[in-house]
Amino acid sequence: MINLDRNENFYGPAPKCFEALNNIGKLDMSIYSKAYLKGVQSDLSERLANDYSIEEKQVILGYGAEEILKLTVQAYLKEGDKLMVPSYSWWYYKKIAEEVGCGNVEYGMKKTETSFEYDADSFIEIYERERPKVIFIASPNNPTGNSIDNDTLTRILDKVSDAVVLFDQAYVFGLHAEETGDLLAKYPNIIIARTFSKYFALASMRIGYGLVGQNLTRLMEFAHRYLGFNYISEQVALAALDSPEYYEEIAAKMEADKELYYKELGAIDGFTVYPSDGNFILVEIPKEIKEPLKKFLLEREIVIKFMNEELLNHHLRITIGTQEQNAEVIKAIKEFFT
Ligand SMILES: Cc1ncc(COP(=O)(O)O)c(C=O)c1O
């Protein structure tokens, strides 16, 4: 079975991650982390604070980036408040808002024939009209794959300083330490959410983090865990951070395969492949082939995501797998037309 429907990374984690697991001793499983003796929350938060040149208290850890999103909503929204999210986005954003009884305000994106783009003017207009307390911006965005450029981001952030902004970078490749540190220094109401699930191929370790602007002390306190974090996940994540060459090599393979998808699927009549900065691509297909194509691929044991959302209902989201998996998917889709 080829399962390319959940944006996992099938190259697997770096060899050093397995070494870290092998080095976990019996007692490591039985005792709470001793990081507090150094005056920090955890080894991983200490390391991330160093990498991004921020204070250690500005790093919060969670059970994936998912938990960082939830903690943010729980800390800053209550019943009747509004969360502002992209209308083309991860469906789960809206669910998180519903869980605390608050409504969603949606902002669109500019959709051209070949891309999706953030639109600062319409964003600001909606913000000023609706005054949401919390805003989610995703870059790269799931499922459209586009990132927000610096100018657009700055224009937006300059106008929304009364709101808490969660900048979801679950799909970013690499750390981008300098730009990230600059963003945190300039915008004290921002939370940058990142994860080890995607680029670092550690989804089942369930570890993500938020880098939190100086004003957001409520979130820092709310996310603090008196008894520490999952020591094993942390050691594996640290090993991943120590393996940049391994991940750069994988990223290069994924970039090459995205180009292959653009070229091969883009050449099929009625298909539009949107450029993506994440480990997935969005493909618009003719409505009438949605069900037959899904069935055809399932018969070949290939699972990709056929979108069923209001605005994206004849679209596929294909996770970029290994080079072998991607070749199989392209081959099968081409065979469908023969
Ligand atoms: C846009 C986006 N943000 C955050 C996440 C959370 O991932 P995790 O909880 O594994 O870090 C996902 C997972 O698919 C996602 O698509």
Whose CA is closest to 86, among 6, 140, 154? Answer: 140
Whose CA is closest to 41, among 184, 212, 191, 228? Answer: 228
Same domain, 174 and 58: yes
CA of 10 to the centre of ligand 1 (A): 16
> Which pTM was predicted?
0.96
Among 199, 214, 241, identify where a domain stops.
241
Same domain, 156 and 292: no
pLDDT per position as a tens digit, 251-299: 999 999 999 999 999 999 999 999 999 999 999 999 999 999 999 999 9
| Average pLDDT, integer, range 7-27 | 97
- Nearest-angstrom CA–CA distance, 71 and 233: 19
CA of 337 to the centre of ligand 1 (A): 33
Same domain, 122 and 208: yes
CA of 144 to the centre of ligand 1 (A): 14
Torsion of CA 241, 180, 253, 331, to 10 degrees: 120
- Provide the pLDDT for residue 70: 97
- Provide the pLDDT for residue 338: 87
How many whole angstroms from its chain centre is CA 331? Answer: 28
Contacts of 154 (CB under 8 A, 6+ apart): none
> What ligand 1 atom has the least distance to the C-alpha of 68?
9
Q: The CATH number of the domain where 217 resides is what? A: 3.40.640.10
Same domain, 23 and 117: yes
Same domain, 220 and 249: no
- Provide the pLDDT for residue 234: 96
Q: Give the pocket of ligand 1 (CB within 6 Å).
A: 7, 64-66, 90, 138, 142, 168, 170, 195, 197, 203, 208
Among 226, 241, 256, identify where a domain stops.
241
Length of the chain: 338
Same domain, 216 and 84: yes
Same domain, 166 and 69: yes
Distances (CA, A) of 188 to 65, 85, 149, 185, 227: 20, 20, 20, 7, 27
- Provide the pLDDT for residue 113: 83
Same domain, 93 and 228: yes
284's enclosing H/E stretch is: strand 280-284
One-letter amino acid for residue 5 of the chain = D
Provide the pLDDT confidence category of residue 310 given band limits of 50, 70 and 90: confident
Give the mutation target among 197, 202, 277, 320 for probing the ligand 1 site: most ligand atoms within 8 A of CB: 197
Same domain, 142 and 72: yes
Among 218, 241, 264, identify where a domain stops.
241
- Nearest-angstrom CA–CA distance, 231 and 23: 12
- Nearest-angstrom CA–CA distance, 168 and 184: 14
Q: Does pLDDT of 147 surpass 90?
A: yes
Give the mutation target among 68, 198, 279 for probing the ligand 1 site: most ligand atoms within 8 A of CB: 198
Domain tally, the chain: 2
Same domain, 165 and 262: no
Q: The CATH number of the domain where 331 resides is what? A: 3.90.1150.10
For residue 315, give its domain range.
2-11+244-336
Contacts of 158 (CB under 8 A, 6+ apart): none
Same domain, 162 and 301: no
Residue nearest ligand 1's atom 1 by CA: 142
- For 303, other C-beta atoms within 10 Å of its C-beta total 16
Same domain, 205 and 86: yes
Average pLDDT, whole number, for the chain?
96
- Nearest-angstrom CA–CA distance, 257 and 324: 10
